[in-house]
Structure 1
């Protein structure tokens, strides 16, 4: 587990933004090691283990190091070692601390953070400078081997200020002799080793093992914790549900718990099953306790990720009780109430996360991974508008380049809204926003045939619509691989039965559930996909549509000649 590499990849872009200053990146890398060493101390960690630490809580740094002199030393030494302004150094570490804390907690999973950091000490100990011994627990700073050169990233100022001992001349006289003795011993050891084992010094064993170890580190660091997002409706029904899991075994475990609590409504839950996500979930065995408590609160939302449960509800009193009840039921988990919506911060973090995901795609990426990465960004359209914000354009430019480089990549762009207007208005708005993204990508050189759009309006929420936070998350653009959209039961109904798969292909209107080339309005139609009898004439007793149903003996081939 290469903790420093993970934090450099996930936290550094969020802290620095567009600033690519190598000195600042190096400063943060060294701070992560010092920070991890501090969190490895159980007493330090216990001070805030039960806190709801916000990702933008810059005061968190002060709670990790309560001694002001230690904080000053850290920022001063880091600034000096990396040639960065001391004030800027203090700001960087204060911003990085809460973000790094959340990432380390996610990496630790069910393992207590101090234990996890102590178990993986070797992955970050080498980054801890010698001067940090005063600000981290004893034994965390690695002892430098005899004769080893001090790291370039370690402040050497204290060494320059040391006075030479009075008997320095005598010691200087001995140094050449000591050096000759050491060299002689090394030469003898090397000769003896060659006689005992004639293999070259650089044996293949070492060179073969090292790449394997590095590959394992990358795989572990890239895996996201499994998660589930839920929302209840007015009558304590399951209003929305999404899960991200690493395999079908975990999916089945979660679905079983959902079915036991919500019955048939558990079928609403959509799952992204991919090896980018973990195959275990700390809360999986406790869902039988968690879900019934949550289901009794109407219009509530809940996100379970790692060892943290985040909940929200429109009533503050109900929300506080929900937090209290869940924490009492599952004390091993951290239960927090979702904080106030900070739109700007949400947008910035989402774009950074998407950029990082795109950075990690590598050559010839899987289109599913591209779609997942692009879906991480929040495209926050203005009210009732479909103009793409400037902040999203650089990422869409990168998406366009990827689509031009990968010939078999075909994406569907899906627009979603909250429920704050009429169904028809929301359907049109979501479609227009998806079309706006498509048009932008085409303008950047993407083949129009590789892009399809879909407007879902308010019909496919991922959160509640009773809170500001929930509505914000429901207003979104999602990307998916077109083949997946046509084949999966993910709420996107696409049927390629003919060039005009209308409910009545003989008339002049396009009233199906899928936009067609001959449909100038790009409408998704007036029919309800959940109707048990979607006939051309639903008032009669026969089933005369062209979409075969189980109760149609003709399997949809017989049309009603009297249908209007």
Structure 2
């Protein structure tokens, strides 16, 4: 996990605004490494770890480094290194600290922040400058050969390790530096097995030697935070619902809370239950209180992930009240209103995240992990068109090379739209877009028999269609593992595992999948026009 890159993409734009000069970007990047190293110290973290830190709390930096001389040194050194005014540097640091703290907590999920940062030390250690040894816990600095850059930056001129001009000062520091280097070398030897990051989809394994024999103990690493995303409709009904959880116990707990709040409508909630997700959710205990609050606001949306709750609503006053009510109901959570849609930023971030997930799958990846990595990308088709943008082709080219090496890969490409057209039109458009993605992957060497398609139109929203942000999330391409052999002459075959149970008529026509063929209703995913025995209306439970 590249913590510095994540903070640079998420925090720096919020701190710098329009003034995104390379010098200030590089200053913040180096500060993130120093900041992360400081938070990795358990004693430091315990001072504020259980506080509800506001994102605009510029005094938070003073609580991380309580020593005035340390704070002054950090601002002075970073300002001098990056040719930034020292007062401006101090202001940037104070703004960045609480935002970076929230992002790191979100990345850590249910793993304690100090443990998470120590487990991922190799992702930011080399960004830490040598002078920072006096403001950090011992063992944070990595030994680097002379002349090597200390920090990777977005600048075209890499940061170089520079010797101090005051020779006497450096001579006084030599014994300390020698001890630091020896300690860092020992640390590097102990953590040598972690130089190459493990695949995202595979738990990181640490090997320990026990009793001087070859027995290895596998220790599971961090997993992605469990999440719940819901939206209400015009009549306060459950309009959309998704959850990503680590086990069935958490799924049951969340479903019980949803059923208590929304009744039978909770059954439409789709769950991805996989050990890549956490088995607990910080907000789970408050769901019985949280969900009724959201239900009472029509056309509202809520995303719970880690210790963050992000909400939106069609009415500004209702949104402000929703944030206040949820914060009162869950004081340990950070509740915030969703910001305006940054279309290009969303696209860029999604492609970067998808590319990282795909490239870190490792050897013999699980097809479900491949599907998740592919689904991260945003394919921003032009209005009423099914032509893949060039920016996505570059990612799909790289992904195809990896997909071709997965022998048991069998995926369904599912197209979705928002509700801003007729259902019939959206169904056709979503099918065309799914087929466009399939055709492109086939052109890059993927066996066509390993890919199938389905257009879902507007029938499976993941967000409310009344807001710009919600419509954006609903317009998507998803990849789903298809456990059923795909008929090469019929791209619309759907696997039992992917979207429901499927049947075929005597003439070979594939009918709509019934989500639960054992119950007494026909909750098909599509209108039943292709299945005369089931009428022509869209099932009301869908």
Contact 1:52–1:336 under 8 Å retained in 2: no
Match of 2:236 in 1: 236
Contact 2:2–2:123 under 8 Å retained in 1: no
CA positional deviation for 1:404: 2.1
Match of 1:462 in 2: 462
Q: Which runs of 5+ in 2 are unaligned?
A: 13-24, 84-88, 151-159, 176-207, 485-492, 514-524, 538-542
Could you report, residue by residue, the CA deviation over 1:77-120 in whole angstroms, capped at 9, with x for unpaired residues?
4x69xxxxxxxx99x9999978854441124446886x768988
Cα RMSD after superposing both structures:
4.8
Match of 1:494 in 2: 502
Contact 1:125–1:141 under 8 Å retained in 2: no
Name the SS of the counterpart of 1:163 in structure 2: helix
Could you report, residue by residue, the CA deviation over 1:373-394 in whole angstroms, capped at 9, with x for unpaired residues?
1000000001111110111112
Match of 2:275 in 1: 275
Contact 1:62–1:71 under 8 Å retained in 2: no
Match of 2:423 in 1: 423
Match of 2:166 in 1: 161
CA positional deviation for 1:7: 1.7
Distance 2:337 2:249 in 1: 30
Q: Which has the larger radius of gyration?
A: 1
Match of 2:53 in 1: 49
Name the SS of the counterpart of 1:412 in structure 2: strand
Contact 2:417–2:430 under 8 Å retained in 1: yes
CA positional deviation for 1:71: 3.7
CA positional deviation for 1:51: 1.9
Name the SS of the counterpart of 1:408 in structure 2: coil
- 1:443 is the counterpart of 2:440: no
Q: 1:247 to 1:44 in 2, by over 3 A?
A: closer
Q: 1:392 to 1:72 in 2, by over 3 A?
A: farther
Name the SS of the counterpart of 2:384 in structure 1: coil
Distance 2:161 2:254 in 1: 54
Name the SS of the counterpart of 2:302 in structure 1: strand
| Count of residues paired in the alignment | 448
Q: Which runs of 5+ in 1 are unaligned?
A: 17-24, 54-59, 81-88, 169-174, 176-202, 503-511, 515-523, 540-564
CA positional deviation for 1:513: 3.0
- For residues 285-300 of structure 1, the aligned pairs below 5 Å read 285-300=285-300
CA positional deviation for 1:446: 1.4
Name the SS of the counterpart of 1:262 in structure 2: helix
Name the SS of the counterpart of 2:267 in structure 1: helix
Match of 2:3 in 1: 7
Contact 1:12–1:96 under 8 Å retained in 2: no
- 1:363 is the counterpart of 2:360: no
Distance 1:244 1:143 in 2: 34
TM-score w.r.t. the length of structure 2 is 0.69
Q: 1:100 to 1:363 in 2, by over 3 A?
A: farther
CA positional deviation for 1:26: 12
TM-score w.r.t. the length of structure 1 is 0.67
Contact 1:125–1:140 under 8 Å retained in 2: no
Match of 1:535 in 2: 533
- For residues 318-329 of structure 1, the aligned pairs below 5 Å read 318-329=318-329
Match of 2:154 in 1: none
Distance 1:375 1:118 in 2: 27
Distance 1:161 1:38 in 2: 28
Name the SS of the counterpart of 2:483 in structure 1: helix
Name the SS of the counterpart of 1:303 in structure 2: strand
Distance 2:112 2:140 in 1: 26
- For residues 361-440 of structure 1, the aligned pairs below 5 Å read 361-440=361-440
